[in-house]
């Protein structure tokens, strides 16, 4: 019965993702997949792992509690940062003429290259630090989020509404609030992998 519920829930999430893609366009479905479906799959995989090591641990509440206690949610976000770094790097390589807008300006030349390079570089650093659940990664993320929030709101003021800009602002605020809520899980000492 439990397996059927998990299967049907996953199928429903995939259908919702498909529907979002049809309704809101390409990219919205990918965001939904990354923010909802992929975490759901990760939780179910972790649940399956826990039940193989301890058959009595087979409840969704126990799985989520264990996941949060061990900081696996932060590690998952670290993996998303690493995925985003690869995506950023791909966009930069495939579109060399692409210019990143920084405070309403599109720097060119060396400054333009440095502006583009900061994103995948910081995403790799933050992703690695989140995988290790280290305090320095939290500080780096909060500084990067503050820069992102200031930059996005400034660009919003200069250029007005933009779908990507709006989604970026909403997700940045949501992720930052979540990370602030989970800030006590970050540790200056090496994280355990229990």
Q: 69, 100, 123: which is the final residue of a domain?
A: 69
Q: Give residue-wise pLDDT tens across range 101-132.
A: 888 888 888 888 888 889 899 999 999 999 99
pTM of the model: 0.77
Q: Give residue-wise pLDDT tens across range 3-46.
A: 677 778 888 888 888 888 888 877 777 778 877 888 887 777 77
Q: Are 85 and 2 in a shared domain?
A: no
For the cut 70, the answer to whether the pLDDT of residue 165 exceeds it is yes
Nearest Cα to 6, choosing from 53, 56, 63, 52? 63
Q: What is the mean pLDDT of residues 49-72?
A: 74
Percent of the chain with pLDDT over 90: 27
pLDDT-based confidence at residue 82 (cuts at 50, 70, 90): very high
* H-assigned helices in the chain: 2-24, 28-32, 38-53, 60-69, 72-94, 109-132, 135-159, 163-181
Q: Are 6 and 80 in a shared domain?
A: no
Q: Are 76 and 62 in a shared domain?
A: no
Q: Are 190 and 106 in a shared domain?
A: yes
Integer Cα distance of 149 and 143 in angstroms: 10
Q: Are 49 and 144 in a shared domain?
A: no
* Radius of gyration (C-alpha) of the chain in whole angstroms: 19
* H-assigned helices in 95-134: 109-132
Q: Are 45 and 78 in a shared domain?
A: no
Return the pLDDT at 54: 66
Percent of the chain with pLDDT over 70: 91
Contact in structure between 141 and 130 (CB atoms under 8 Å): yes
Segments forming the whole domain that contains residue 21 = 1-69
Q: How many domains does the chain have?
A: 2
Q: Are 65 and 113 in a shared domain?
A: no
Q: Are 114 and 61 in a shared domain?
A: no
Q: What phi and psi, each to the nearest 5 degrees, are found at residue 130? A: -70, -35
Q: Are 56 and 101 in a shared domain?
A: no
C-alpha pair distances (Å), 188 with each of 38, 139, 184:
28, 11, 11
Q: Are 168 and 109 in a shared domain?
A: yes
Q: Give residue-wise pLDDT tens across range 133-159.
A: 999 999 999 999 999 999 999 988 888
Q: Are 95 and 185 in a shared domain?
A: yes
Return the pLDDT at 144: 95
C-alpha pair distances (Å), 38 with each of 31, 72, 108, 110, 126:
10, 13, 37, 37, 19
Q: What is the mean pLDDT of residues 75-79?
A: 90
Q: 35, 69, 103: which is the final residue of a domain?
A: 69
Q: 69, 103, 118: which is the final residue of a domain?
A: 69
């Amino acid at each position: 019965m439990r397996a059927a519920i998990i299967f049907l829930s996953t199928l429903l999430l995939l259908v919702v993702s498909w529907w979002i893609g049809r309704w809101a366009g390409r990219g919205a479905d990918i965001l939904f997949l990354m923010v909802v479906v992929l975490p759901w799959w990760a939780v179910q995989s972790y649940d399956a792992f826990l039940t193989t090591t301890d058959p009595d641990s087979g409840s969704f509440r126990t799985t989520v509690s264990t996941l949060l206690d061990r900081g696996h949610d932060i590690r998952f976000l670290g993996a998303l940062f690493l995925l985003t770094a690869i995506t950023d790097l791909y966009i930069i390589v495939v579109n060399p003429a692409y210019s990143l807008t920084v405070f309403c300006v599109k720097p060119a030349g060396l400054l333009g290259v440095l502006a583009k390079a900061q994103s995948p570089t910081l995403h790799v650093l933050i992703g690695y630090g989140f995988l290790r659940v280290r305090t320095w990664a939290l500080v780096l993320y909060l500084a990067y989020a503050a820069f992102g929030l200031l930059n996005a709101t400034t660009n919003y003021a200069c250029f007005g509404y933009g779908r990507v800009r709006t989604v970026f602002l909403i997700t940045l605020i949501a992720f930052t609030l979540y990370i602030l809520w989970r800030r006590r899980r970050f540790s200056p000492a090496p994280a355990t992998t229990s």
